[in-house]
Structures are given as C-alpha cells and as structure tokens.
Structure 1
Amino acid sequence: MVRITPLHKLFAAEVTGLDLASGPDDATFETIRRAFATRSVLVFRDQDIDDEQQIRFSRRFGELETTKVGTSGAGSQLVILSNLAPDGSIVPPTSRQMLNNRANRFWHADSSFKPVPAKASMLSARIIPSEGGDTQYCCMRAAYAELPQRLKDAVEGRVAVHDYGWSRSKVDPDLVTEEEKRAVPPVRQAMVLDHGPELGRSLYLGAHAARVEGMDEAAGRALIDELMAFCTQERFVYSHEWRPHDLVLWNNRAVLHRATPFRGSDEARHMVRTTIAGDGPTVETPHIAA
C-alpha cells in the first residue's frame, strides 16, 4: 500500500510502497496526485527505471516538453544532466557541458524562460557521486505567506522578465549560442502565482528573472535580490541527499531548486529529467514586443 511521509514541516514528502516500473493504478495515482498538489516535492526511492518508463509515468501528470536546442537531449523528451562524455569519461571542467551544470547551482525554476513555463519536473538518479551533488528545494508558497506586507505590496501585480541568455552569462558570457537566444528570447512572467483558495499564492522568481517591468533596472534587481534572499532562508528549504535510483518530482510553479557542488572532475553524476509542460502562461501576453 502506498504511503506518504512528510520530509519537511512545510512541504516535500516521500512516497513508498510503489513500483513505478509497472506504473500505479488509477486509484494509487490519484493519491499521488493529491499529495503532489499539497506537498509540491515528492521523493520516490528505489525506482530502477529506464527512460521509457520515466516518460510513461511523467505523462500521467500532463504533456511533456521537448528539450530545447543547446541542451543535452535536444529534440527528445529527456534532459540529460551529466558530467560524462559519450565514451563514459568525465568531461573537462571548462567544457560547455560542465558550465551548464554549474549554472544549475543557482536557484531556478525549470523553463521559466519559456512563454508557457513548465508545470513540473521529474529527475531520476542513474549515477551519483559518493558525496555532494544534492538538490535543494525552497517552498515559494510558504515564503509568500510569510513575506512582510511591504514586500507583498511591492510584488502585487508585478511582472518580471525572464531571460535564459542573461542568466547563463553569469557563468560564462559566451555560454549561450545565438541559436539558443533565438529559440528562447526573453519572456514576461508574473511575480506572484495564485494556486487557488486551498493552496494559496507563491512567488515566482529564480535565476532567469533578470529585471522587473516598470522599475528602474537597479531598483528592480534590488527587489528581486531581496525576495530571493527571503525565500531561500533555511526554514523554507528541503535538501535532498540522493541515493541510487531515487526519482524526485517537483512543482516548478511552487518551488525553486538548485544543485549543490560535488567533485565533478573526479566522480560521475548522471541524471535524467523529464519536464511536464505548463497548462498556460502566467500572464496574458508573455512575449516581449520586438
């Protein structure tokens, strides 16, 4: 029988009593879906699944994104997060692959740089290092609920511009190609999302949030930085220490996440992600007029 066990007082839970290789029946899936709606992060231990099984389970939550150009797995429904070359060796620290992995150490929401940002992500641990390489999640619903009224007033009705090229340039100014910039130009996203009367509201920010519409650039950055410092306080954070064959599902519109460092030049880390597409944009006009 499936069991849901909280991992943090505010969010996140572990799901046990389930074999995802064969897939849950409808009643069991409904239990998982309800837990996901309230806990935002679900951990499934000991799930030795392959790519197709991961895709099949992910599709129970909605349509999947196709991986964008410039990312490992481009054109498929998989994102490969790895420091391994095709021959199994570890890639050099200066490689584009490693630099992109380093960018994932910033707090972010997957695909917030797209007109319709992702609803959820599912990450499967295929190879993990002996230490480090954890993933941290911060609860943006709890953070919004505890925001000082001054900051709630400051973000009410505000829109941030999310820019993939801008965020990646913080790692290396040449990391994003012109082809990628054309594929994912800057978009507009609401800074506060409403999840309904039962679940409440959440902040929507992260590393791709470059500026705030209608504000001086410096003032907008200061607001984003203050909000990020508030919502990533330890009391809002769950740190997931990976075990082999863990599968973690999270709500990109309710939590931010980041990878933590490990000895990437010496130890392998190979993870496979599927990304569940969002149901719609966060604002009526996500595109920025040319």
Structure 2
Amino acid sequence: MSLAITPLTPHIGARLTGIDAGRPITPAEVAAVEAGMDRHAVLVLPGQAITDGQQLAFTRNFGLLEEGANSTVRNAELRLAPTFADVSNLDRDGTMLARDNRRRMASLGNRLWHSDASFRAVPARYSILSGRIVTTEGGNTEFADMRAAYDTLDARTKAEVETLVCEHSLIYSRQQLGFSEFLPDERVSMRPVLQRLVRTHPVTGHKSLFLSAHIGAIVGWPRPEAMAFIRDLIEHATQPKFVYVHRWTQHDLVIWDNRTTMHRVRRFDDLNIVRDMRRTTTRSDGPTVAQEAA
C-alpha cells in the first residue's frame, strides 16, 4: 500500500495510511511522517496493533526519547517502562484506579488544555499515543492548532506576546484542580522552567503560541494579570474552528507535535471502564528561550 495523507480539518490533523509502525520504517517514510507533521501537526495512523517494543522502536525514528514522564508515580508503582507515559486508569496489577488514588487524581490534569512536558527545560517534540484499549463513550482527545491561534491574533496582541516569557510547572496545572499532594522531592523536581509564549517552528518558520495549563506566571507581570491574560489566550486558541476531535478506535496510533498544538482528553467513566493508552515522547531541540534568542 502506498503512503497517503488525508486532511481531517482545514487547519489541523490528517489520516496517514501506508505505514506499518510495527516494522522498521525507511528514511523516506520517516521524512514523509515529518513532512506530514510539519503540515498537519497531528497524524492518525489507524490499525497499528503494536507492542511496547515496536512503539519504542518507531518513536526513536523521530528523536531522543523523553523518560520519567510519570512524574507523580514512584518507580515501584510503575506499570510500564519509564520510557512510557502511562495514561491508563490501571495500576501495575491491572486493576482500575480507585477514585481517591493519588495517580488518578494527578492525571485528571490531562483534562486541561496543555502541551506535553512544557514543564521541562527541554520540552517535548512529538507525542505518540497508542490506543490499546479505548472507550466508545467519552475519552476523546482534542487538539488545538497553536499556529492558527497565533495567526488570528490582532496586531496589538501579537506585538504584546512576542517577547513574553512564562513559567511552567506541573504544580501549577495540578493546583488548578485542587491537587496539592506533592512530596518535598517532587516540589524540587517540579520547580518552574521558563518558556517563550511565542515560538518559531525550526523547519517551517511558522510562529505559534506556546500555551499550556502548566503556565503559572508571566515574567515581570503581576500573577493575577498574567493568569487572566493566559486564560484569554487559551479561550481564543481553543475555539472549535481551530480544534480537531479524535474519537478513538482500537489500535489507533496518534502522533502530535507539541511545538504547534495543545491537547486535552475528555471525561469518561474511568471508575468502571478500562482505558489503556500508552504514550512515548521525543524531546525538542532545546529550551525555547535559548532558541528564540538565537
């Protein structure tokens, strides 16, 4: 089967067929995926019944792996290898997490609009999410196009955001939901990092907003003013016309570019329905502040 890319919305998202993520892919196929990502920001590869090892091998085609994504889970509690973000509702024994389970409460932050690993000095490039067991009622993943969000700002706001730098931390996003059960060492590891509010794609040169629920401050601004402004920008960026809604089918493999998107998962009955999703992530090229300065 030849490779084919079919757009899913005018702004963001496309369906990619003709690649088997379970086998080694060629340099030409890697280049085709990257070109598709540069254009569409989100690619959906249906029918990819892959193992963890195959997902890792596929992900490594697109850069260095991010490890330790399960930031609020102790190693002894991990269900998957540290190279995976476990975004399921299962514990290491395959039992659904209780309502008051600490990992479950922390993971509710995934229901907020965010960019993966924006709370790290070197944020994420691609996220690759495999739908091993999916839900048919709820649990959709929504993606917002941060390029279109930037392009449609008025001239005054574009000038205002151009040089702003924000503080990002997992603590900020979790505190929005009332989760504050961070251990002392977690508070150290989750110290805020600085990211530009406007970033430039290294290949296309397209500017986009770098927004996330992980933002808790704008450097040099009073915090209430900063958070009100970020809220306004997120409302602008997540208008339905900028959003692709992915309704999962089993063995979908979805790739998105965190440099040009935000995303969130929608609510589902996670206390009674199993959802097993496994994410691998590659790292971006470096801190956004340093990149823009260069």
> Shorter chain as normaliser: what TM range?
over 0.9
Q: Cα gap change, 1:32/1:75 in structure 2, threshold over 3 Å: closer, same or farther?
A: closer
Aligned to 1:53: 54
Q: How far apart, in 2, do the equivalents of 1:106 and 1:274 lie?
A: 20
Q: How far apart, in 1, do the equivalents of 2:135 and 2:202 lie?
A: 40
5 Å matches for 1:1-290?
1-68=2-69, 69-71=71-73, 72=78, 76-195=82-201, 198-284=204-290
Q: Deviations over 1:249-281 (max 9, x none)?
A: 101110000000011111001110001011111
Greater CA drift, 202-211 or 21-30: 21-30
Task: Work out whether residues 160 and 210 of structure 1, in 8 Å CA contact, stay in contact via their aligned partners in 2.
Answer: yes
Task: Work out whether residues 126 and 244 of structure 1, in 8 Å CA contact, stay in contact via their aligned partners in 2.
Answer: yes
- Extract structure 1 runs of 4+ deviating beyond 6 A: none
3-state SS, counterpart of residue 188 of structure 1: strand
Task: Work out whether residues 200 and 206 of structure 2, in 8 Å CA contact, stay in contact via their aligned partners in 1.
Answer: yes
Pairs aligned (count): 286
3-state SS, counterpart of residue 139 of structure 2: coil
Query: Per-residue deviation at 1:84?
Result: 1.4
- Unaligned runs of at least 5 residues, structure 1: none
Task: Work out whether residues 14 and 43 of structure 2, in 8 Å CA contact, stay in contact via their aligned partners in 1.
Answer: yes
Greater CA drift, 251-260 or 21-30: 21-30
- TM-score calculated relative to the size of structure 1: 0.94
Q: Deviations over 1:99-157 (max 9, x none)?
A: 12311000000100011111111000111123110100000001100111221122110
What RMSD in Å do the two structures reach over aligned CA positions? 1.8
Query: Per-residue deviation at 1:88?
Result: 2.5
Q: Cα gap change, 1:280/1:139 in structure 2, threshold over 3 Å: closer, same or farther?
A: same
Task: Work out whether residues 86 and 278 of structure 2, in 8 Å CA contact, stay in contact via their aligned partners in 1.
Answer: yes
Instruction: Supply the AA of the counterpart residue of 2:137.
Output: E
Q: How far apart, in 2, do the equivalents of 1:57 and 1:199 lie?
A: 26
Task: Work out whether residues 43 and 249 of structure 1, in 8 Å CA contact, stay in contact via their aligned partners in 2.
Answer: yes
3-state SS, counterpart of residue 87 of structure 2: strand
Task: Work out whether residues 168 and 175 of structure 1, in 8 Å CA contact, stay in contact via their aligned partners in 2.
Answer: no
Task: Work out whether residues 140 and 246 of structure 2, in 8 Å CA contact, stay in contact via their aligned partners in 1.
Answer: yes
Instruction: Supply the AA of the counterpart residue of 2:72.
Output: G
Q: How far apart, in 2, do the equivalents of 1:226 and 1:176 lie?
A: 28
3-state SS, counterpart of residue 284 of structure 1: helix
Instruction: Supply the AA of the counterpart residue of 1:19.
Output: D
Q: How far apart, in 2, do the equivalents of 1:175 and 1:23 lie?
A: 42
Q: Deviations over 1:179-220 (max 9, x none)?
A: 222122101100000125844100001100111111111211
Q: How far apart, in 2, do the equivalents of 1:135 and 1:267 lie?
A: 17
Instruction: Supply the AA of the counterpart residue of 2:217.
Output: R
Q: How far apart, in 2, do the equivalents of 1:241 and 1:65 lie?
A: 26
Query: Per-residue deviation at 1:74?
Result: 8.1
Greater CA drift, 108-117 or 168-177: 168-177
Task: Work out whether residues 72 and 103 of structure 2, in 8 Å CA contact, stay in contact via their aligned partners in 1.
Answer: no
Q: How far apart, in 2, do the equivalents of 1:56 and 1:223 lie?
A: 41
Identity percentage of aligned residues = 36
Q: How far apart, in 2, do the equivalents of 1:62 and 1:233 lie?
A: 31
Task: Work out whether residues 133 and 259 of structure 1, in 8 Å CA contact, stay in contact via their aligned partners in 2.
Answer: yes
Query: Per-residue deviation at 1:97?
Result: 2.2
Q: Cα gap change, 1:85/1:73 in structure 2, threshold over 3 Å: closer, same or farther?
A: closer
Q: How far apart, in 2, do the equivalents of 1:3 and 1:182 lie?
A: 46
Q: How far apart, in 2, do the equivalents of 1:223 and 1:234 lie?
A: 20
Query: Per-residue deviation at 1:171?
Result: 2.2
